[in-house]
């Protein structure tokens, strides 16, 4: 059996450090917004090259609070991609805004800057790109469009912790950005967690208030806020993994390179790196007309595989009505052919070869 992500192997490496940190937290009883959350916020701000990092309860909350703090609200249009996890659009709906889905680049699967520009109306207030599967979106072009049209730029970095463009980290390009620490993400907790980053003092202050019941001073409340704090125990785990994140991401890139080399002669599209930034391979996602046969063959060998994402957001039941008549041809064609293979820092070369051999078998059998 080869899982999509081998979290067990990763834990073995950080076990001592994590257990000591958790034991200390339990002894100190500093469970809410304690010293580890504070330290993690400083460490991630330094790592990502941003002024402020604020720990919150999930990636979904990070995006929601980022939009709120940037003043996106009722009736505002937010241009985003339909080829993403639902949470990108949920966050937009939570603030009463309207997600405007536009098409993607056929090779990187990231939002198309040209499509963004065409979708701008007088109601457009923000653009929310997703650095999908760990590859940075074309932030130079997207930031330029936002500047020219006076739009807020909110990055969905839930899959891109550690990805960068010319040394600048994803999350450092926009007015604000949201990260997720869902266990399977490149930087994953042992439960839910998230982070908002921003260079704006004002946005940071608003997020700190919003995540903690609209309060700066205990029992004094200025706005209706939320209970959305990064958990102290999760911060212990995240600090241990943050120290190793570059090593983890490099190992993912190595696995991806091996995969792509081994499959270079097969009639399928291995991940395309556009060369604009450093891809951190949250997912290793390919395209094939014979996807369903490949998935069946992998499942028969107990090899993890998945389709991210089988149904684009504009075709989901929840958005079908609101998006009636919208057709996104590239998105739809990619969703019909994409599939993802196991990838994580602990996937061995042997297992990588084994997976490729199964895929090769599908093409050999006809
Ligand atoms: C994981 C993910 C989220 C949501 O993060 P949670 O921590 O699970 O709430 C949002 N957007 C994208 C693109 C994601 O992959």
Q: How far is the CA of 196 from the centre of ligand 1 (A)?
A: 13
Is 60's C-beta closer than 6 angstroms to any atom of ligand 1? yes
Is 156's C-beta closer than 6 angstroms to any atom of ligand 1? yes
Q: In whole angstroms, what is the distance from residue 316 CA to residue 296 CA? A: 24
φ/ψ of residue 121, rounded to 5: -125, -175
Is 109's C-beta closer than 6 angstroms to any atom of ligand 1? no
Q: How far is the CA of 364 from the centre of ligand 1 (A)?
A: 37
Closest Cα partner for 252 from 324, 172, 328, 188?
Answer: 188
Domains contained in the chain, CATH given: 7-102+110-242 (3.40.640.10), 245-364 (3.90.1150.10)
Q: How far is the CA of 363 from the centre of ligand 1 (A)?
A: 34
Among 55, 110, 135, 182, residue to substitute to test ligand 1 (most atoms within 8 Å of Cβ):
182
Note the pTM of the prediction, 2 decimals: 0.98
Peptide bond into 309 cis (omega under 30): yes
- Per-residue model confidence as pLDDT tens for the chain (366 residues): 999 999 999 999 999 999 999 999 999 999 999 999 999 999 999 999 999 999 999 999 999 999 999 999 999 999 999 999 999 999 999 999 999 999 999 999 999 999 999 999 999 999 999 999 999 999 999 999 999 999 999 999 999 999 999 999 999 999 999 999 999 999 999 999 999 999 999 999 999 999 999 999 999 999 999 999 999 999 999 999 999 999 999 999 999 999 999 999 999 999 999 899 999 999 999 999 999 999 999 999 999 999 999 999 999 999 999 999 999 999 999 999 999 999 999 999 999 999 999 999 999 976
Q: How far is the CA of 179 from the centre of ligand 1 (A)?
A: 8
Using only the alpha carbons of the chain, give its radius of gyration: 21
Is 130's C-beta closer than 6 angstroms to any atom of ligand 1? yes
């Amino acid at each position: 059996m080869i899982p999509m992500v081998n979290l067990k192997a990763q834990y073995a490496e950080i076990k001592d450090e994590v257990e000591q940190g958790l034991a200390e937290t339990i002894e100190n009883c500093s469970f809410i917004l304690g010293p580890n959350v504070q330290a993690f916020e400083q460490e991630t701000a330094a790592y990502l090259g941003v002024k402020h990092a604020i720990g919150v309860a999930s990636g979904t909350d990070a995006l929601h609070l980022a939009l709120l703090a940037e003043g996106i609200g009722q009736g505002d249009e937010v241009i985003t991609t339909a080829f993403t996890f639902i949470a990108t659009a949920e966050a937009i709906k939570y603030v009463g805004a309207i997600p405007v889905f536009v098409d993607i680049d056929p090779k990187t699967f990231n939002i198309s800057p040209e499509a963004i520009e065409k979708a701008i109306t007088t109601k457009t207030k923000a653009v929310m790109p997703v650095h999908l599967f760990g590859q940075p979106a074309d932030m130079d072009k997207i930031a330029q469009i936002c500047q020219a049209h006076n739009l807020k730029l909110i990055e969905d970095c839930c899959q891109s912790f550690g990805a960068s463009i010319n040394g600048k980290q994803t999350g450092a390009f926009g007015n604000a950005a949201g990260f997720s620490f869902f266990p399977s993400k490149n930087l994953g907790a042992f439960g839910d967690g998230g982070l908002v980053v921003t260079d704006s003092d004002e946005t940071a202050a608003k997020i700190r208030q919003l995540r903690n019941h609209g309060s700066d001073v205990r029992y004094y409340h200025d706005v209706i806020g939320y209970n959305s704090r990064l958990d102290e125990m999760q911060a212990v785990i995240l600090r241990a993994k943050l120290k190793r994140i570059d090593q983890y991401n490099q190992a993912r890139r190595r696995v991806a390179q091996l995969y792509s080399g081994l499959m270079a002669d097969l009639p399928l599209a291995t991940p395309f790196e556009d060369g604009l930034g450093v891809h951190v391979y949250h997912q290793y996602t390919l395209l094939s007309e014979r996807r369903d046969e490949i998935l069946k063959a992998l499942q028969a060998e107990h090899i993890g595989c998945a389709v991210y994402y089988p149904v684009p957001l504009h075709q989901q039941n929840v958005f079908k009505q609101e998006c009636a008549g919208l057709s996104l041809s590239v998105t739809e064609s990619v969703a019909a052919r994409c599939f993802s293979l196991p990838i994580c820092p602990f996937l061995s070369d042997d297992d990588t070869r084994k997976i490729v051999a199964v895929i090769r078998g599908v093409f050999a059998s006809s």
